[in-house]
Amino acid sequence: MEGQQRGGPSSRRYMRRKRRDMMHVQVCLVLGVLGVTWGVSALTDVSRLHLESFPGASLDQSQRRKLLAVANGTLEINCTEPAIHQFPTDVFSNSQRRQGAVVLHIVAAMYMFFALAIVCDDYFVVSLEKICEKLSLTEDVAGATFMATGSSAPELFASIIGVFITHSDVGVGTIVGSAVFNILCIVGVCSLFAGQVVYLTKYAVFRDSFCYTLSVLALMAFIYDGRIMWWESLVLVFMYVGYILVMKFNSSIQRFFTRGGSVKAITNGNAAFNPDDYSFHGDGNDPTKRLLPEGPANKMTSGEEGNHEQVLNSPFRVPGRPMEIFKWLVSWPILFLLFLTLPDVNQPRWEKYYLVSFFGSTVWIAVFSYVMVWMVTVVGFTLGIPDVIMGITFLAAGTSVPDCMASLLVARQGQGDMAVSNSLGSNVFDILIGLGVPWSIQTLAVSMGSQVLINSRGLFYSVVLLLGSVTLAVLGIHVNGWRLDTRLGVYVLLLYVIFLTISILIEYNVFTFINLPMC
């Protein structure tokens, strides 16, 4: 606990500052994913049009009957209603967006990703830390409950919007895509850019991958018939309760499986090799609150670091360097808006208002998530990309890139368990709570006994690919000697590209007829 008191807040500030310093990297990564998605989608459309130009190469008649049917002299068009109609009417027409206005929507979506990162880091997560302190929760339980919510809030609210507002698969797609991004992209980026060979603890990887695999298997079983029953949603929630118990008794479980051997103090992947050299700030899923070397923490106690932190959060203090001024100007509207509406519980005079900060930041997360999903939906409709594909790719990357950067930072410090357990632990929360809670509310509270429909049959195959991705990733880690290095990084990133390509092709009915076209 002494280390926690010494290094926690400083470590948090350090990670937050470093992530914002890498903002340009995050933007390039997200835009890269969108570019790949658009490219594969465009090639798929061109190939399909080219094939249909040949005589006899059109769709099978049984497939065409699924698209267009005539009954009693009335034309019935069987197609998927686009989610764009569930949002306010856009100020631009579709033709105007195709002529270039869609760029504004892409910029707006990227800005919402940035806004979510700021409100989560500076207010939501900090207020959750205060709640955990008041409830005297252990680090394991706090990490698997409240703090997991902080790192996965964007995915959770995207799922809520998909269930209650758009009635589409954008939320499920975001969580499935985020899960694949976390396990493949995060591990790949950490392996390639850690600057060193990082070693992993077998138990930590096995524990999290086992819990994750059970979550994916449950999701596969429940979405197979295209509908979610009330009891299925409850099963997901109770499975997460079991996951919390695993975190609670983690040390005992590890001691049992290591047959009484030496046990590292691993808190959801955080190995405390030497309490004097490392400081804890308990969080089971967000590496910004995890074990960090005392070196960075000590550096951050200087007056220079404190001033930098104040400039980082304040809309009224202009930083000195040109690049920092640019980043400050970009974030200024968000900083000013949050400054006016939320108390900063990092400051002693506002600390007692942590519940106000918690509920207020929750409202802002909901607002930013709504605008984010809205803009992404418009972009997908304009580019002809289905909602579920936008969720699997662009939304998933945008909501997961901050965690990717945080994992890279701790991997550079040699803490491989943190980087990998961050990705796997977040996935468990996203699937069991991010999907289970909205589905439970819909089927038990909003409309008792109702069902949540899964519109895209291709999602089931994407979840199968999700299970395959974690299997191949863990197998690759094992074959590679439980090391994160360049060879493993290339391998898992190649798996990610393959996953995106196959998922997109499935949604476009390339392999077989699965989904009706968008209306």
Mean pLDDT by 10 residues, the chain (519 residues): 39 59 74 82 64 44 41 54 83 92 93 89 86 78 72 86 83 87 89 89 86 93 92 95 87 78 44 37 40 42 48 73 84 92 89 92 92 91 86 86 82 82 82 93 89 83 90 93 93 92 84 71
Burial class (CB within 10 angstroms; exposed 0-12, middle 13-18, buried 19+) of 154: buried
What residues have CB less than 8 Å from 504, skipping those under 6 apart? 37, 40, 41, 44, 389, 393
Burial class (CB within 10 angstroms; exposed 0-12, middle 13-18, buried 19+) of 275: middle
Instruction: Encode burial over 430-452: b for 16+ CB neighbours within 10 A, e otherwise.
Output: bbbbbbbbbbbebbeeeeeeebb
pLDDT at 396: 87
With a threshold of 0.85, does the pTM exceed it?
A: no
